[in-house]
């Protein structure tokens, strides 16, 4: 026994290492004018408690295999472990990030955390000094002839090391999925979700790391209760760690934040300083505008917006509590929406000279099934988290609660499909989101963009040369120019024979500005026809009417005033199509005029809140106009 202890005491204690270097082959295909890459930056696996309690067994590695186009089984599972449902993407994603909740990914050893009870116990003191001896002492109750340490290794280190943390597994899965060859077919990002809340309102954010250099442990809500504390802790453990680590933070589900996500106050509770505003914009350059749990672009409401398209995929409460406790349910808060935050950001800029809400837009799913990019309306298997459980059996009727939806996609304009290039696109906000379809959208603005840009073969070259792309700030206005010109071009989703892409109906430009201290907004129809008569035959979910394969428009703001700060973003709208719920109701033969056809779980098909027809869409990141002193 003594010899064994001595051997363990003086033996090697190997480090657990991953290949964290960013060495890679240069991508064979590099496009200086940038390509559109489609991905999902919000994915949960079995390492998220709310996913695993719903029966999710898919690991990060499984999720990445799915993202790359492999079929994947999902719950429920039969007694032999065979999944009873499966899913496969029609087209693989270009990138993805696993973002499990940080609160379950962190340090697991009480003996290493001075804040935890037991840390000062004698056994922990021994553990910190002689870990291997401590392992034996901790397990002195063991008995029996069988091998006691098969799981933990002969000296127990694998049951003591932080290697038990799922965080290591997430990193390893990302490394295995990242294509470092010249083919550059797929990019994985290491990430996690910071699951913050206040008064039960959602303040969740995803943290995405630029490379394999990441903190030893993710900063969770346990360590940082406010967003500014999260950034501070990440600066310490990442940016200033000397490892080449970098990160950005993406808020989501502001629709469930009760107006708290885009607060007007700074860290100290009072008004933000310019530095604090710049810090926020720098750390949070993007917002997830749509996902399973609804759309957060804008609210169609007297207190919100008169824009009817804002009724798209709205959850009917101001916070998630409203879903579970009906008497606490309140209607959505107007300050919870991204367009309002963009407008508030202009006001802040006027007040302190910096805009805290100068963020770009993208979308993702928030899948809790471990199935990134599964956004097809025709094959929605459910959110896998807070909605209908599928742990024990396939859900009866609809696969999930009516208010959820299949989610959207993040799209990045980048030179190549590599971490560096995609992360840079996120940082400069050259990004957009779609509600699911693979719509391609370009958006440029400039003071001297050619008016005939849509007729030219060098649309993109001119866009960059004579203007700025989505996510950017217009340069200073030349004196001789009266108003900026905007160019937007969108291609419909090319689709597949099984799932044809929807035709485009129109492209709008949404303008928000500040005038005499008040925020204003207006929607401009740029190209296409909102009254093209397109519709859906609800008896078959067949689209009806004409639309466009692509739309291109050049537009100059007729209401531009040089002294008004403003933002502009493009919204590409498809023709009407059947929502996922309408497709399921149709497939199951529901006829709301014949109650006998409304089987178990299908009553929502005929509920007042059911909107069977939607218009899928894409939202570009905004382009900002900032008046100079000369303009005021």
Partner 1 sequence: MRSPLLHFLLIGALLVALRHGVSVLAHGTVSGPQVALAASDEELLFAEAVDLGLHRRDSLVMRRLVRDMQFLRGPHRTTGEGAGEASHPEALFRDALALGLHEADLVVRRRLVQKLKLALKAAVRDEAPSQEELERYLDDHPEAFEQPATWQISQVFLSRRVRGEKLDASARQLLRRLRDGVVPPERAAFFGDPLLMASALPPLSAKQLEGLFGRAFVAEIDRLETRAWGGPVASAYGLHLVWLHAHRPPRPARLGEVRSAVREALVEERSRARLEAQLASLRVAAP
Least distance to partner 1, CB of residue 45, Å:
11
Nearer of residues 392 and 600 to partner 1, judged by Cβ: 392
549 near partner 1, judged by CB under 8 A? yes
- The secondary structure of residue 301, as a DSSP letter, is S
Q: Are 215 and 123 in contact (CB under 8 A)?
A: no
Least distance to partner 1, CB of residue 551, Å:
8
How does DSSP assign 161-179, residue by residue? Answer: SGGGSHHHHHHHHHHHHS-
Q: Count other Cβ atoms within 10 Å, centred on residue 472.
A: 19
Report the SS3 class of residue 283. Answer: helix
Least distance to partner 1, CB of residue 117, Å:
3
Q: Which 559-598 residues touch partner 1, going by CB under 8 A?
A: none
Least distance to partner 1, CB of residue 118, Å:
6
Q: Count other Cβ atoms within 10 Å, centred on residue 11.
A: 12
Q: Are 95 and 37 in contact (CB under 8 A)?
A: yes
Nearer of residues 182 and 587 to partner 1, judged by Cβ: 182
d(CA 201, CA 260): 8
Segment contacting partner 1 by CB under 8 A, of 111-119, 311-319, 328-336, 472-480: 111-119
Least distance to partner 1, CB of residue 29, Å:
4
- Residue 345 dihedral angles phi and psi, to the nearest 5°: -60, -35
111 near partner 1, judged by CB under 8 A? yes
d(CA 294, CA 266): 27
Nearer of residues 23 and 242 to partner 1, judged by Cβ: 23
Q: Which 181-240 residues touch partner 1, going by CB under 8 A?
A: 181-183, 185
Segment contacting partner 1 by CB under 8 A, of 24-32, 304-312, 360-368, 554-562: 24-32
455 near partner 1, judged by CB under 8 A? yes
Q: Are 262 and 357 in contact (CB under 8 A)?
A: yes
Q: Count other Cβ atoms within 10 Å, centred on residue 153.
A: 13
d(CA 187, CA 177): 7
Least distance to partner 1, CB of residue 40, Å:
15
460 near partner 1, judged by CB under 8 A? yes
Report the SS3 class of residue 427. Answer: helix
Nearer of residues 510 and 552 to partner 1, judged by Cβ: 552
Q: What is the dihedral of CA 283, 406, 306, 486, to 10 degrees?
A: 60
Q: Which 529-548 residues touch partner 1, going by CB under 8 A?
A: 548
Which residue of 176, 316, 533, 595 would you call a contact of partner 1, by CB under 8 A?
176
Put residue 512 in one of left, alpha, beta given phi > 0 → left and psi -120 to 50 → alpha.
beta
Least distance to partner 1, CB of residue 21, Å:
11
Nearest to 166 by CA among 215, 245, 104: 104
Segment contacting partner 1 by CB under 8 A, of 28-36, 250-258, 285-293, 537-545: 28-36
Helices marked H in 501-602 = 580-587
Nearest to 523 by CA among 308, 287, 360: 308
Nearer of residues 159 and 241 to partner 1, judged by Cβ: 159
3-state helix/strand/coil string of 493-513: CCCCCCCCCCCEEEEEEEEEE
Number of residues engaging partner 1 in binding (CB under 8 A): 95
Q: Which 80-109 residues touch partner 1, going by CB under 8 A?
A: 80-81, 91-92, 103-104, 106-109
Which residue of 192, 247, 423, 489 would you call a contact of partner 1, by CB under 8 A?
489
Segment contacting partner 1 by CB under 8 A, of 21-29, 429-437, 569-577, 616-624: 21-29
d(CA 20, CA 212): 5
Q: Which 388-447 residues touch partner 1, going by CB under 8 A?
A: 392-393, 438, 440, 442
Nearest to 442 by CA among 334, 320, 554: 554
Please state whether beta strands 577-578 and 623-625 pair in parallel, antiparallel, or not at all (unpaired): unpaired
Least distance to partner 1, CB of residue 371, Å:
18
Which residue of 8, 42, 63, 169 would you call a contact of partner 1, by CB under 8 A?
169
Q: Are 220 and 102 in contact (CB under 8 A)?
A: yes
Which residue of 22, 83, 130, 163 would you call a contact of partner 1, by CB under 8 A?
163
Nearer of residues 515 and 549 to partner 1, judged by Cβ: 549
Which residue of 168, 198, 239, 278 would you call a contact of partner 1, by CB under 8 A?
168
Q: Which 44-63 residues touch partner 1, going by CB under 8 A?
A: 46-47, 49, 52-53, 61
Report the SS3 class of residue 63. Answer: helix
Least distance to partner 1, CB of residue 435, Å:
18
Nearer of residues 29 and 476 to partner 1, judged by Cβ: 29
Which residue of 151, 242, 531, 632 would you call a contact of partner 1, by CB under 8 A?
151
- Residue 558 dihedral angles phi and psi, to the nearest 5°: -75, -15
Widest pairwise Cα distance in the chain: 90
């Amino acid at each position: 026994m003594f010899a064994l202890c001595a051997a363990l005491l003086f033996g090697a204690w190997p480090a657990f290492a991953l290949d964290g270097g960013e060495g890679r082959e240069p991508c064979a295909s590099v496009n200086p004018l940038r390509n559109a890459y489609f991905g999902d930056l919000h994915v949960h696996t079995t390492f998220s408690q709310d996913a695993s309690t719903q029966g999710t067994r898919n690991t990060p590695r499984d999720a990445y295999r799915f993202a790359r186009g492999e079929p994947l089984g999902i719950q429920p599972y039969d007694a032999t472990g065979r999944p009873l449902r499966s899913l496969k993407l029609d087209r693989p994603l270009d990138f993805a990030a696993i973002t499990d909740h940080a609160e379950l990914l962190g340090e697991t050893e009480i003996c290493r955390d001075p804040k935890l009870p037991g840390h000062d116990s004698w056994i922990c003191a021994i553990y910190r000094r002689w870990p291997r001896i401590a392992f034996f002492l901790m397990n002195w109750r063991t008995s029996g002839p069988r091998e006691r340490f098969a799981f933990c290794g002969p000296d127990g280190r694998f049951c003591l090391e932080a290697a038990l943390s799922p965080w290591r597994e997430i990193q390893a899965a990302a490394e295995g999925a990242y294509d470092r060859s010249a083919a550059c077919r797929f990019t994985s990002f290491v990430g996690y979700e910071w699951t913050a809340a206040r008064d039960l309102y959602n303040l969740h954010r995803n943290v995405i790391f630029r490379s394999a250099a990441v903190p030893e442990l993710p900063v969770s809500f346990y360590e940082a209760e406010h967003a500014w504390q999260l950034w501070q802790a990440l600066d310490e453990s990442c940016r200033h760690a000397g490892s080449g680590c970098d990160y950005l933070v993406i808020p989501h589900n502001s629709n469930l934040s009760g107006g708290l996500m885009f607060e007007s106050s700074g860290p100290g509770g009072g008004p933000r300083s310019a530095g604090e505003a710049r810090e926020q914009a720098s750390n949070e350059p993007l917002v997830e505008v749509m996902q399973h749990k609804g759309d957060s672009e804008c609210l169609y409401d007297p207190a919100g917006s008169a824009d009817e398209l804002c009724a798209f995929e709205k959850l009917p409460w101001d916070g998630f509590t409203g879903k579970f406790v009906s008497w606490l349910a309140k209607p959505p808060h107007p300050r919870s929406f991204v367009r309002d935050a963009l407008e508030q950001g202009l006001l802040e800029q006027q007040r302190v000279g910096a805009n805290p809400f100068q963020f770009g837009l993208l979308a993702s799913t928030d899948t809790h099934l471990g199935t990134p990019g599964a956004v097809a309306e025709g094959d929605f298997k459910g959110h896998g988290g807070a909605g209908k459980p599928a742990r024990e059996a396939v859900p009866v009727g609809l696969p999930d609660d009516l208010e959820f939806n299949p989610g959207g996609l993040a799209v990045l304009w980048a030179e190549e499909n590599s971490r560096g290039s995609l992360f840079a696109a996120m940082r400069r906000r050259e990004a957009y989101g779609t509600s699911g379809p693979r719509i391609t959208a370009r958006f440029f603005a400039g003071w001297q963009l050619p008016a005939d840009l849509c007729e030219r073969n060098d649309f993109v070259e001119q866009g960059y040369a004579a203007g700025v792309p989505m996510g950017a700030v217009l340069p200073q206005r030349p004196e001789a120019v009266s108003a900026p010109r905007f160019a937007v071009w969108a291609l419909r989703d090319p689709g597949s024979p099984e799932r044809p892409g929807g035709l485009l109906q129109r492209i709008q430009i949404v303008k928000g500005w500040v005038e005499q201290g008040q925020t204003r907004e207006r929607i401009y129809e740029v190209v296409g026809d909102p009254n093209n008569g397109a519709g859906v035959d609800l008896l078959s979910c067949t689209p009806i009417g004409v639309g466009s394969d692509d739309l291109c428009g050049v537009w100059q703001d007729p209401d531009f005033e040089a002294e008004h700060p403003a933002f502009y973003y493009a919204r590409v709208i498809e023709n009407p199509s059947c929502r996922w719920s309408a497709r399921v109701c149709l497939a199951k033969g529901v006829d709301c005029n014949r109650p006998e056809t409304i089987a178990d779980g299908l009553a929502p098909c005929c509920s007042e809140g059911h909107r069977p027809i939607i218009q899928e869409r894409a939202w570009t990141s905004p382009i900002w106009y900032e008046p100079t002193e000369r303009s005021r």
